A and B are shown apart, each in its own frame.
Chain A
Amino acid sequence: QKEVEQNSGPLSVPEGAIASLNCTYSDRVSQSFFWYRQYSGKSPELIMSIYSNGDKEDGRFTAQLNKASQYVSLLIRDSQPSDSATYLCAVNPQTGANNLFFGTGTRLTVIP
């Protein structure tokens, strides 16, 4: 059973702060990792992908991957109320296939 674990939250941060979202996965050979944002009543939207160990930055978002620790995180700098959503961590277990294993999501609330 391939497992992806996330803290369900809710995680509350004040506006302007850094929000830190964490995810662990059980399959050591997992290849690529994704963060999706899902607003209430909407479908998930891909916001970050990461493949290699280290950090990957895109605007206010930074994804961090540590394959040795089987850990991936998402940092959101200068959090805005519009960032309030559920963030889903997803793991692709192998190259050449698109199937993903999703965590249950962390609900983030940014307080104005």
Chain B
Amino acid sequence: GAVVSQHPSWVICKSGTSVKIECRSLDFQATTMFWYRQFPKQSLMLMATSNEGSKATYEQGVEKDKFLINHASLTLSTLTVTSAHPEDSSFYICSAGAYISYNEQFFGPGTRLTVL
């Protein structure tokens, strides 16, 4: 149980284009989903918290107009990187909150974005 999928697993795009990443909770409903970014050899950085049916809450320094988050259902959240640039190249990971025993978060497998 508590499986989270992400699609695509990797994507290469040209500078200036937009990329959409999907995050799904497969066997549970997640009222809250989280989006993280991780650069090589660095720790996880929380970008935003997404609650179903409401606007996402972005962490300080994360541009909400550049990283569009939609959480339209209890099993799906999407992150769209708009007008991507090479510095947006990173490993993007979503997680879904579930109360199994202790308010755990379960992570998707991640999406590796490379912007040329």
B107–A44 touching, CB < 8 Å = yes
Number of B residues with CB within 8 Å of any CB on chain A: 22
A99–B49 touching, CB < 8 Å = yes
**Chain A residues with CB below 8 A from B46, complex form:** 102
CB distance from A52 to the nearest CB of B (A): 10
With CB as the reference atom, state the residue of chain A lying closest to B98.
A98
A43–B101 touching, CB < 8 Å = no
Chain B, 34-70, contact with A by CB distance < 8 Å: what is the 0/1 string?
A: 1000000001101001000000000000000000000
Q: Is A74 interfacial (CB-CB < 8 Å)?
A: no
Q: Is B8 interfacial (CB-CB < 8 Å)?
A: no
Take A42-B110, A43-B108, A44-B44 as given contacts and tell me if A49 and B101 are in contact as well, using a CB distance cutoff of 8 Å: yes
**Chain B residues with CB below 8 A from A72, complex form:** none
**Chain B residues with CB below 8 A from A25, complex form:** none
Number of A residues with CB within 8 Å of any CB on chain B: 27
Pick the residue among B34, B91, B98, B100 that contacts A99 (CB under 8 A).
Answer: B34
**Chain B residues with CB below 8 A from A92, complex form:** 102-103
Take A43-B93, A44-B44, A105-B43 as given contacts and tell me if A98 and B107 are in contact as well, using a CB distance cutoff of 8 Å: no
Q: Provide 13 A-B residue pairs closer than 8 Å at the C-beta atoms, listed in order of the A residue.
A: A34-B104, A34-B105, A42-B110, A43-B108, A44-B93, A46-B104, A49-B104, A92-B102, A98-B99, A98-B105, A99-B32, A99-B34, A104-B43
Residues of B that sit less than 8 Å from A by CB: 32, 34, 43-44, 46, 49, 91, 93, 97-110
Residues of A that sit less than 8 Å from B by CB: 31-34, 36, 41-46, 49-51, 88, 90, 92, 95-100, 102-105
